[in-house]
Amino acid sequence: MPVGVVDAAAKGVRLERHAAGAAVLLRRASGAKQLVSASSHLLFRATVLATLALVVLFAVHYPSLLSRSFSLSAAPSSGSSSAPRSRSSHRSLLGSGASYGGAAWEREVRRSATPRRDGGLSVLVTGAAGFVGAHCSLALRGRGDGVLGLDNFNSYYDPALKRARQRLLASRGVVVLDADINDAALLERLFAAAPFTHVLHLAAQAGVRYAMQAPQTYVASNVAGLVNLFEVAAKHADPQPAIVWASSSSVYGLNTDAPFSEEHRTDRPASLYAATKKAGEAIAHAYNHIYGLSITGLRFFTVYGPWGRPDMAYFSFARSIVAGEPITLFRTADGADARRDFTYIDDVVKGCLGALDTAGKSTGSKSGKKRGPAPLRVYNLGNTSPVPVTRMVAILEKLLGKKANKRVVTMPSNGDVPFTHANVTHAARDFGYRPATSLEAGLRHFVDWFVQYYKLDIKGSNVLAGKTTKRKSMAMSAAS
Ligand SMILES: O=C(O)[C@H]1O[C@H](OP(=O)(O)OP(=O)(O)OC[C@H]2O[C@@H](n3ccc(=O)[nH]c3=O)[C@H](O)[C@@H]2O)[C@H](O)[C@@H](O)[C@@H]1O
């Protein structure tokens, strides 16, 4: 075979081999491509499945995630020593989940709410484990009225003190339910269970300066809660009760005319707290006008006394003096002492009962028909003699037998007002309100209770040195 032919044949064979190799390579390449395409499909499907699973998981957990962030925003504030902690009553706007109802529960409610004297009132007291609420409940029960209390026992200040008040009330036959004024279903059941003639509405978020730390709790209790109560009283109660509720001297805000009269301006609140109380007065007007609810607002002036509120200055100062801790006194920018028309609890209780006794009936009904105008009233309940806060501290020092470690600062811009002074001629005229307790006498009663309640051993104080006045007050006798 010629060389050329042999070469050509050999080339042909090589070419064939190359072609076959290329075909194998091509087949392999296409197999790999198929493999890649299959796995990317798998990857895609896995991603879709994982996304779906995540969506399902998120949907399942979404409500709890929402409520967790909600309760965090309403969590107790640590605050400063004088800034109390608070549990928002928002929880109850979503339904408190409280267990109530049933025949035994209704019997208990009726028993507590039923008067024990002819012509006695049947009063639903909100905030009954609070300072003023507990005292008023005891006084009402003491004269034979029926009293059913409710309280949400929030932690704005030490709930143990509220529980102690609850126990004291229980020992006098007054039931205080764990319940919130924003719980409409509960209020409806209460009005269905007992025909309350009156509501003494004292549940509120109190404290002037704390409103800067927890504004929403003021709206929830003092605005939403008030509306909820008025709604139920107007549309579900049969008969409609007369309502007496706690407004505040703080509504006078930047008013400089003194003494403060109910005719003075109240459209310049200095704090959100004051604004919510002023809003309450406007809301009361609307419910009185539309539904014929008899409503009386009481403007309390710095109420103090045994079983008081630990967040208030006289109480927290007493604790600090005993503990040897410094107290901070606020002075106005021009160097004047802040002054308060401190009003003793027993005087305020008489004012509350007087307001209840003279309230006048509501004129509306469940059907929405109003028979005519119903009473709408507002009264100052003060002491009519303002005292510098420095004087209040001097009295405490004497009673506790110990000097305060004072730090004087210019009043911060936190809603405080430099002075309060009540004109009480309207309350005197309409229900014989006459405050009769000096700050000296009232603080002595407070310190008596304070020392006993906290089991203090205060050497050299005017309290344990046997100089205490013997007091017949129901609250004092149960202070152990
Ligand atoms: O009468 C009212 O309308 C109000 O009375 C009190 O509010 P307030 O008078 O500010 O009572 P405190 O917080 O006890 O303060 C009393 C005085 O002590 C002063 N103070 C307070 C705290 C402090 O650390 N240092 C201090 O000098 C205040 O400036 C004020 O002049 C209550 O806390 C409110 O709930 C109520 O509505």
Query: Residue 228: inside a domain, yes or no?
Result: yes
The pLDDT assigned to 101 comes to 84
Contact (CB, 8 A) for 300 and 246: yes
What is the residue whose two structure tokens read 């091509």?
26
Number of the ligand 1 atom closest to the C-alpha atom of 248: 3
Query: Residue 132: inside a domain, yes or no?
Result: yes
Q: Which two tokens stand for residue 75?
A: 């969590």
CATH code, 121: 3.40.50.720
Instruction: Tell how far the Cα of 419 is from the centroid of ligand 1, in angstroms.
Output: 10
Contact (CB, 8 A) for 224 and 203: no
Closest Cα to atom 27, ligand 1: which residue?
329
Strand, helix or coil for residue 296:
strand
What is the residue whose two structure tokens read 């013997």?
470
Number of the ligand 1 atom closest to the C-alpha atom of 204: 35
Instruction: Tell how far the Cα of 17 is from the centroid of ligand 1, in angstroms.
Output: 104
Cis-peptide into 239, omega within 30 deg: yes
Closest Cα to atom 16, ligand 1: which residue?
313
- Around ligand 1, the residues with Cβ closer than 6 Å are 82, 206-208, 248-250, 300-302, 312-313, 328-330, 338, 340, 389, 416
Strand, helix or coil for residue 410:
strand
Round to whole Å and give the CA distance between 95 and 222.
18
| Alpha helix (H) residue ranges in 211-362 | 215-218, 226-235, 272-291, 313-323, 345-357
Which secondary structure element, helix H or strand E, spans residue 431, and what is its range? helix 425-431
The b-or-e profile of 330-350 (16+ CB within 10 A means b, else e) is bbeeeeebbbbbbbbbbbbbb
Q: Give mean pLDDT, residues 301-309.
A: 98
- Probe ligand 1: pick from 312, 391, 419, max atoms within 8 Å of CB? 312
Query: Residue 59: inside a domain, yes or no?
Result: no
pLDDT tens, 369-399? Answer: 899 999 999 999 999 999 999 999 999 999 9
The ipTM (two decimal places) reads 0.99
pLDDT tens, 414-429? Answer: 999 999 999 999 999 9
Closest Cα to atom 24, ligand 1: which residue?
328
Query: Residue 10: inside a domain, yes or no?
Result: no
The pLDDT assigned to 43 comes to 53
Instruction: Tell how far the Cα of 315 is from the centroid of ligand 1, in angstroms.
Output: 11
Q: Which two tokens stand for residue 328?
A: 């901070």
Instruction: Tell how far the Cα of 156 is from the centroid of ligand 1, in angstroms.
Output: 15
> Which residues lie across from 146 on neighbouring strands?
122
The pLDDT assigned to 176 comes to 98
Query: Residue 46: inside a domain, yes or no?
Result: no
The pLDDT assigned to 357 comes to 98
The residues assigned a catalytic role are 273
Query: Residue 55: inside a domain, yes or no?
Result: no
Round to whole Å and give the CA distance between 426 and 417.
24
Strand, helix or coil for residue 297:
strand
Please spell the DSSP secondary structure of 78-141, one letter per residue: ---SSS-----THHHHT-------SHHHHHHHHHHHS-SSTT--EEEEETTTSHHHHHHHHHHH
Which secondary structure element, helix H or strand E, spans residue 42, and what is its range? helix 3-73
Amino acid sitting at position 266: T
Domain residue limits at 318? 90-477
Closest Cα to atom 9, ligand 1: which residue?
302
Instruction: Tell how far the Cα of 312 is from the centroid of ligand 1, in angstroms.
Output: 6
Query: Residue 17: inside a domain, yes or no?
Result: no
Round to whole Å and give the CA distance between 209 and 205.
11
Instruction: Tell how far the Cα of 314 is from the centroid of ligand 1, in angstroms.
Output: 9
pLDDT tens, 140-182? Answer: 999 999 999 999 999 999 999 999 999 999 999 999 999 999 9
Number of the ligand 1 atom closest to the C-alpha atom of 338: 31
- Probe ligand 1: pick from 245, 251, 317, 389, max atoms within 8 Å of CB? 389
Number of the ligand 1 atom closest to the C-alpha atom of 314: 14
Residue 384, number of CB atoms within 10 A of its CB = 17
Q: How many domains does the chain have?
A: 1
Number of the ligand 1 atom closest to the C-alpha atom of 246: 37
Query: Residue 425: inside a domain, yes or no?
Result: yes
Whole-Å CA distances, 140 to 63, 145, 159 = 44, 5, 23
The pLDDT assigned to 308 comes to 98
Round to whole Å and give the CA distance between 450 and 365.
46
